[in-house]
Amino acid sequence: MLGLGKKDFTLLLIVAVMTLLAPLLLNPFPESSGLAQFNAGYPDLMQRFVIFGIFAIGFNILFGLTGYLSFGHAAFLGVGSYGAMWMMKLVSLNVIPAIIMAIIVAGIFSLAVGYISLRRSGIYFSILTLAFAQMSYALAYSVLTPLTGGETGLQIKSSDTPLFSNVADGDIGRANLFGMDMRASHEVAMGDWLFTFNAGYYIAGVVMLIAFYLSIRIFRSPFGTMLRAVKSNQTRMYYTGLNARPYTLAAFVISGMYAGLAGGLLVAMDTQVGPERMFWTASGEVVLMTILGGAGTLIGPVLGSGAIKYMENILSKINKDILHEWFAFLPAGLDDFIVAIVYPFVGKGWHLTLGLIFMGVVIFLPGGLVQGGQKIGGLFRRKKASDNDSDKSTQSTPAE
């Protein structure tokens, strides 16, 4: 269906259902319980899940398929954000032209960067992309201040009068979709549970589903196969009479456009942008997401971005008092000891946990969480050998 194989369609369907029901699924704990802080079903975080999911899906098209490790992808996200921001400031507060603008700007920028960077491969490619991203960051921070707002970044101000949107004098315009405010939320209280259905989240979610669908199509297309050929043996590709450069460049631009789309959506959800969005740690983050989930797999990047954003927002909220509450059942003295051990890994130290998990994944599970899931699944499957239908279709084995 939709031009997909049965397995892919099932995967897409599962992702679609999960995305649509996320406000319910991510809020499993009642409001009054102590575990309510683990609820991730609030609009801001859910939007981040799907937007960074898009970013990672796009990065995966480049890294997962061709093996080119770009360390400067955040630049495209940032450029897209600035493009969308200006579109909103000048033309219309409707998010659709802003997002389209973001994709176009990021696409053009990634075409320029890719054209130059792809002359080299391996570590040189990583350094070149890193250099371009750091240059964009430095310029956005300093010289291009009239265009980027410098350190403070850009926001929509009351003085902005977009051409096609009516903003009353003195009002600050809000991003909308044909009049529907991005921040509009519908809250449903069911007993002790409170579910928030947010307009912005659903728009971003639908966009992510489209992006996910496109990425499945790319993975399964002859073009995708060609990109895998680039990864496995470029020399052999040359000898068969094919030039790898156009394919890698196309992959680079596509993933740059995905990054721009993510940047545009970020602006659509929260109308502001600053240069730190382009800093190289932001590029490192998308690398972390993709590897953590599983590079070269379809669902991996989405899982990875979800895991990292969840940790960033939830794990970082745990402080000493909460830990003491949890371990209060232990004998006195022992609970202090446990808290002292656990504390460095949560709260402000969540990056430490992230770093350790990431190292563990790179060392033991080069295929990321997806590979881990498959290994666990494999353990169960071995018991019933009659079920020989190996579930490989969700993963495209990286061609090595």
Output the six-digit token pair for 397: 């084995």
* Total residues in contact with another protein, by rule CB under 8 A: 41
Q: How far is the CB of 36 from another protein (least distance, A)?
A: 27
Contacts of range 29-38, beta carbons closer than 8 Å, 24 or more positions apart: 30/191, 30/192, 30/193, 31/192, 31/193, 31/194, 32/192, 33/192, 34/325, 37/314, 37/317, 37/318, 37/322, 38/314
C-beta closer to another protein: residue 91 or 135: 135
The angle formed by the CA atoms of residues 49, 151 and 107, to the nearest 5 degrees, is 55
Among the listed residues 366, 393, 396, 399, the single contact to another protein using CB under 8 A: 366
Closest contact distance (angstroms) between CB of 292 and another protein is 10
**Three-state SS for 94?**
strand
The one among 281, 382, 384, 389 contacting another protein by CB under 8 A: 281
Q: In angstroms, give the least distance from the CB of 286 to another protein.
A: 13
Stretch of 16-24, 103-111, 152-160, 351-359 lying at the interface with another protein (CB under 8 A): 351-359
**Which residues within the stretch 101-140 sit at the binding site for another protein (CB under 8 A)?**
116, 119-124, 126-128, 130-132, 134-135, 138-139
Nearer to another protein, 92 or 129 (CB): 129
Q: Which residues contact 305 (CB under 8 A, 6 or more apart)?
A: 49, 52, 53, 55, 56, 286, 289, 293
Q: Please give the radius of gyration of the chain, using alpha carbons only, rounded to the nearest integer.
A: 22
Q: How far apart are the first and last CA of the chain?
A: 30
237 near another protein, judged by CB under 8 A: no
Q: Does the footprint of another protein cover residue 69 (CB under 8 A)? A: yes
Q: Find out whether 11 and 223 touch, Cβ atoms under 8 Å.
A: no
**Residues binding another protein (CB under 8 A):** 67, 69, 116, 119-124, 126-128, 130-132, 134-135, 138-139, 141-144, 280-281, 284, 287, 291, 344, 348-349, 351-352, 354-356, 358-359, 362-363, 366
